[in-house]
Amino acid sequence: MTREIEVIVNGRKTRVKVREQDTLLAVIRERLGLKGAKEVCGIGECGACTVLKDGVPVSSCIELAVRADGSRIETIEGVMKDGKLHPLQAAFVENSAFQCGYCTSGMVMMAKSLIESRKGKGPVDQAEVRDYMSGNLCRCTGYRQIIDAITQASREIGKGSSG
């Protein structure tokens, strides 16, 4: 059985037919052609599939697409604006906070949520980053560079960079 849902993906209103069992990740990747979020574990444990649904990070590999009806979805493809990297993306590059890159989109989306939740409260500290990001796994970097990138971006965004 299929039904049509309406979502705003990266600022663009979209109607898409989904089956009741379709995950949000499957719809994003297969129907909308946005390949940044990855399925790694398939059980919501690794964070590689993280997207923002109405500003809240969700594991899109276990989130049913029908639950997104009427929601605003942001994927890694929507983070860059006018051809310019978001401060988080730039900080990941500057700090070599990725190696294979498989987990990077989920890391950036989760970190974006953290930083946005802190607006007006000052930059995040390393302990807060470690705690908030604990559900996002990386097999390559050892996390030091990721933590550095997120704290750097938080400081830059707090100074008035676009974010």
In a domain, 64, yes or no: yes
- Give the end of a domain, one of 78, 105, 122: 78
In a domain, 141, yes or no: yes
Q: For residue 113, give Cα distances in angstroms to 5, 12, 51.
A: 24, 20, 10
Distance CA 153, CA 161 (A): 9
In a domain, 104, yes or no: yes
Can you give the CATH number for the domain in which 60 is found? Answer: 3.10.20.30
Q: Judge contact between 88 and 143, C-beta under 8 A.
A: no
Mark whether 7 and 72 lie in a shared domain.
Answer: yes
What pLDDT does 29 receive? 98
Can you give the CATH number for the domain in which 100 is found? Answer: 1.10.150.120
134 exposed, middle or buried (CB, 10 Å; 0-12, 13-18, 19+)? exposed
Mark whether 9 and 71 lie in a shared domain.
Answer: yes
Tell me whether strands 72-74 and 2-9 are parallel, antiparallel or unpaired: parallel
Which residue range is the domain that position 29 belongs to?
Answer: 2-78
Mark whether 26 and 92 lie in a shared domain.
Answer: no
pLDDT digits 0-9 by tens, 71-128: 999 999 999 999 999 999 999 999 999 889 899 999 999 999 999 998 889 899 999 9
Q: Does the structure show a pLDDT above 90 at 141?
A: no
**Which token pair is 91?**
């900080």
Total structural domains within the chain = 2
pLDDT digits 0-9 by tens, 19-59: 999 999 999 999 999 999 999 999 999 999 999 999 999 99
On average, the pLDDT of the chain sits at 95
Q: Judge contact between 58 and 135, C-beta under 8 A.
A: no
Mark whether 134 and 98 lie in a shared domain.
Answer: yes
Mark whether 65 and 111 lie in a shared domain.
Answer: no
**67 vs 140, more confident:** 67
pLDDT-derived band at 163, boundaries 50, 70, 90: low
Mark whether 115 and 143 lie in a shared domain.
Answer: yes
Mark whether 92 and 142 lie in a shared domain.
Answer: yes
Q: Judge contact between 32 and 14, C-beta under 8 A.
A: yes
In a domain, 163, yes or no: no
